[in-house]
Amino acid sequence: MNGIRFDHVSKHYGDVLAVDDLSLTIEPGTTVALLGPNGAGKSTSINLLLGLLRPSRGTIAVNGRAPARAVAAGEVGAMLQDGALIPELTVKETVDLVRGLYPRPLALDEVLSLADLTGLAGRRANKLSGGQTQRVRFALAIAGAPRGRAAGGRGARRGPAGGHAAARAARRPVRVGRARGHHQRRTPRAGPAVRDQDDVRGRHRHP
């Protein structure tokens, strides 16, 4: 099955219930935003999607595979909150290094263009501004030509430059996919809001 599926997923940290019985289906080609206050379970849900955490209960499938297998196959790209770049490498070298980790990456010039980094290709990472660094993180998220992309927490919101590049790329008809839909609704029982998604069941709780 293509797309992303959470089936009655819960996650405990000791006695703390961070995600409670979340069921969610995301079809290919859609854009979904998890919105909610601190402690609502957004970052935990993203980490579960990326295979960085295992659910305490329930199952998660990404294009019919376990999350860790989908990530290893280059089907998922992630732009996380933080993450230092290697200061001595140029933007081009950094992106090309990450491209080499995937079986079927996007062309280097295409990645740089999608992230608005063509003019910065020769600049070293330690000479980048905060917004330019965010654009590099976005480039690294799409370098493997993923069928799905995730952006987590503060990093998804920090600075307009990275956000504008991400929005433009999401609308480009390339292998990294398309975004469509603009409506938003809030899920019941104080769960996170979900964009372009009407099949959401379950609850997220504050720790």
Q: Comparing C-alpha atoms, which of 98, 104, 103, 94 is closest to residue 126?
A: 94
Average pLDDT (104-124) is 95
| Helix (H), strand (E) at residue 79 | strand 76-79
Residues 33-47 pLDDT 10s: 888 899 899 999 999
For the domain 4-204, what is the CATH superfamily, name and number?
Answer: P-loop containing nucleotide triphosphate hydrolases (3.40.50.300)
Instruction: Please check the confidence at residue 136 and state whether its pLDDT lies above 50.
Output: yes
pTM for the whole thing? 0.64
Q: Comparing C-alpha atoms, which of 63, 68, 112 is closest to residue 92?
A: 112
End-to-end CA separation in angstroms for the chain: 33
Residue 32: the pLDDT is 86
CA atoms within 13 A on the CB side of 70: 27
Domain spans of the chain, in order of start: 4-204
Q: Which phi-psi region, left, alpha or beta, contains residue 11 (left: φ > 0; alpha: ψ -120 to 50)?
A: beta
d(CA 17, CA 186): 21
